[in-house]
Structure 1
Amino acid sequence: MAKRISFQKGLSSVLFWSVISAAFIGPGTVTTTSRAGALFQGQLLWALTFSTLATILLQETSARLTIASGKNLGEIIALQYAGKKGKAIHWGIFLALAFGCAAYEAGNLLGALSGLGFLTSLPRPAITLTLGFLCAGLLWIGNYGFLARLLGMMVAFMGATFLYVAFFSPITPVSLASGALIPHFPQGSALLIIGLIGTTIVPYNLFLGSGIGTGQDIREMRLGIALAVMIGGLISGGILLAGMQIEGAYSFENLSRALTSTIGGWGTALFGLGLFAAGLSSAITAPLAAAVAGSSLLGAGNKETWTPDSRNFRMVWGTVLGIGVLFGMLNFRPIPVIILAQALNGLLLPFMAIFLLFAANDRTLLGKYANGFWANLFTLIIVGVTTLLGLHNIRLALDSVFHFFEEGALFPVFVTAGFSMALMIVLGFRVFEKEKADR
Structure 2
Amino acid sequence: MLVTAAFIGPGTVTACASAGIGFGYALLWALVFATVATIILQNMAARVAIVTGQGLAEAILAAASSLPVRWAMAALIFAALGIGNSAYQAGNISGTAVGLSLLGVKSDALTQPVLALAIGVVAAALVIIGKPGWLEKLLIGLVLAMSLAFIGGLMVIDVDWSSAARGLLPALPADSLFTAIALIGTTVVPYNLFLHAASVRGQFSSDRQGIAAASLDTAVSVTLGGLLSMAIVIMGAATSALPSAGAGPLDEVALRLEAMFGSPARIVFALGLVGAGFSSALTAPLATGYVLAEMMGGSSDPERRTRIFKRTALAVIAIGTAFAVLAVNPVELILIAQSANGLLLPILAAFLLWVASRRQSLGSFANGPLANLAGGSVVLVCTLLGLRLILRAAGVWP
TM-score by length of 1: 0.81
Provide the residue aligned with 1:267 in structure 2. Answer: 265
Relative to 1, partners in 2 of residues 1:306 and 1:393: Cα closer, same or farther, differing over 3 Å? Answer: farther
Asked if the contact 1:342–1:393 (Cα under 8 Å) also holds between the matched residues in 2, the reply is: no
Provide the residue aligned with 1:354 in structure 2. Answer: 350
Q: Which residues of 2 match residues 299-338 of structure 1 at below 5 A?
A: 299-307=297-305, 310-333=306-329
CA deviations over 1:106-139 (Å, ceiling 9, x no partner): 1111111111111211512221222112111211
Provide the residue aligned with 1:26 in structure 2. Answer: 9
Which of 199, 217, 220 does residue 186 from structure 2 map onto? Answer: 199
CA distance in 1, matches of 2:147, 2:56: 30
CA distance in 2, matches of 1:339, 1:262: 27
Provide the residue aligned with 2:99 in structure 1. Answer: 115
CA distance in 2, matches of 1:29, 1:244: 15
Q: What is the CA-CA distance between 1:244 and the residue it aligns to?
A: 1.7
CA distance in 1, matches of 2:57, 2:272: 34
1:162 lines up with 2:150 in the alignment: yes
Provide the residue aligned with 2:207 in structure 1. Answer: none
CA distance in 1, matches of 2:360, 2:154: 48
1:94 lines up with 2:81 in the alignment: no
CA distance in 1, matches of 2:31, 2:316: 28
Question: Which deviates the most, 298-307 or 133-142?
Answer: 298-307
Asked if the contact 1:74–1:298 (Cα under 8 Å) also holds between the matched residues in 2, the reply is: no
Instruction: Give the partner amino acid of 2:98.
Output: S
CA distance in 2, matches of 1:259, 1:336: 23
Provide the residue aligned with 1:249 in structure 2. Answer: 244
Asked if the contact 1:75–1:300 (Cα under 8 Å) also holds between the matched residues in 2, the reply is: no
1:66 lines up with 2:54 in the alignment: no
Question: Which deviates the most, 343-352 or 207-216?
Answer: 343-352
Asked if the contact 1:46–1:183 (Cα under 8 Å) also holds between the matched residues in 2, the reply is: yes
- In structure 1, stretches of 5+ residues that fail to align are 1-17, 412-439
CA deviations over 1:390-430 (Å, ceiling 9, x no partner): 4455567xx5xxxx42xxx526xxxxxxxxxxxxxxxxxxx
TM-score by length of 2: 0.88
CA deviations over 1:49-104 (Å, ceiling 9, x no partner): 00001001101100101101222212212221266422453244224310000011
Relative to 1, partners in 2 of residues 1:337 and 1:274: Cα closer, same or farther, differing over 3 Å? Answer: closer
CA deviations over 1:306-353 (Å, ceiling 9, x no partner): 54xx32111111111001111111111367865775565444321221
Instruction: Give the partner amino acid of 1:127.
Output: L
Instruction: Give the partner amino acid of 1:71.
Output: Q
Provide the residue aligned with 1:298 in structure 2. Answer: 296
Asked if the contact 1:112–1:275 (Cα under 8 Å) also holds between the matched residues in 2, the reply is: yes
User: What SS does the aligned partner of 2:173 have?
Assistant: coil
- In structure 2, stretches of 5+ residues that fail to align are 205-209
1:130 lines up with 2:113 in the alignment: no
Provide the residue aligned with 1:106 in structure 2. Answer: 90
Q: What is the CA-CA distance between 1:272 and the residue it aligns to?
A: 1.9
1:368 lines up with 2:391 in the alignment: no
Whose Rg is larger? 1
Which of 162, 172, 175 does residue 185 from structure 1 map onto? Answer: 172
1:377 lines up with 2:373 in the alignment: yes
Aligned residues: 382
Provide the residue aligned with 2:287 in structure 1. Answer: 289
CA distance in 1, matches of 2:31, 2:71: 36
User: What SS does the aligned partner of 1:332 have?
Assistant: coil
User: What SS does the aligned partner of 2:263 have?
Assistant: coil
1:211 lines up with 2:194 in the alignment: no
